[in-house]
């Protein structure tokens, strides 16, 4: 619960957060590469999980490219921000509030890609074990 409190305060203060709604550059470049390599089939069927989705800047961008996105975020304030940004961009993202150090609320082999941009480093050892097991469980075999 300490992580939830810390991140909730951070999103309420908005002092160390990214000042932009633009996606993180490496995430954007990775998906441009995939789009070029796999062409249209990428956008039609791609299931992506964004762990630590924050204000939605990565998830909302990927949804605008046509991917089917879910995001897990511990902060309710961040979830509200992400949902509002998705509404403004007119994209659909399934945002879920929970720690990703817990069991993910998805079936086995759900996702083609799972992204985590500097979020898992805040997990304790037990949460990290759960996190790794859940990555393995929910990522498709060729993901």
pLDDT tens digit string along 2-28?
Answer: 565 555 566 566 655 566 677 778 877
- d(CA 143, CA 5) in angstroms, rounded, equals 33
Q: State pLDDT tens for residues 71-124.
A: 999 999 989 999 999 999 999 999 999 988 899 999 999 999 999 887 787 788
Q: State pLDDT tens for residues 30-72.
A: 877 877 776 655 556 789 999 999 899 999 998 988 889 999 9
| pTM of the model as a whole | 0.81
Topology of domain 2-13+39-138 in CATH is Rossmann fold (3.40.50)
pLDDT recorded at residue 89:
94
Let me know the angle formed at the C-alpha of 82 by 133 and 63, rounded to the nearest 5 degrees: 75
pLDDT recorded at residue 102:
93
Let me know the angle formed at the C-alpha of 59 by 118 and 94, rounded to the nearest 5 degrees: 115
């Amino acid at each position: 619960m300490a992580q939830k409190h810390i991140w909730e305060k951070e999103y309420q203060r908005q002092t160390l957060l990214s000042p932009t709604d633009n996606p993180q550059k490496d995430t954007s470049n990775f998906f441009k590469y995939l789009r070029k390599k796999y062409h249209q089939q990428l956008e039609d069927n791609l299931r992506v999980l964004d762990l630590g989705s924050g204000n939605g800047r990565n998830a909302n961008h990927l949804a605008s490219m046509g991917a089917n996105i879910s995001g897990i975020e511990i902060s309710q304030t961040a979830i509200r921000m992400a949902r509002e940004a998705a509404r403004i961009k007119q994209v659909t993202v399934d945002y879920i509030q929970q720690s990703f150090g817990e069991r993910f609320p998805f079936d086995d082999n759900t996702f083609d890609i799972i992204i985590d941009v500097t979020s898992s480093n805040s997990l304790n050892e037990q949460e990290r074990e759960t996190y790794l097991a859940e990555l393995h469980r929910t990522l498709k075999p060729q993901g």
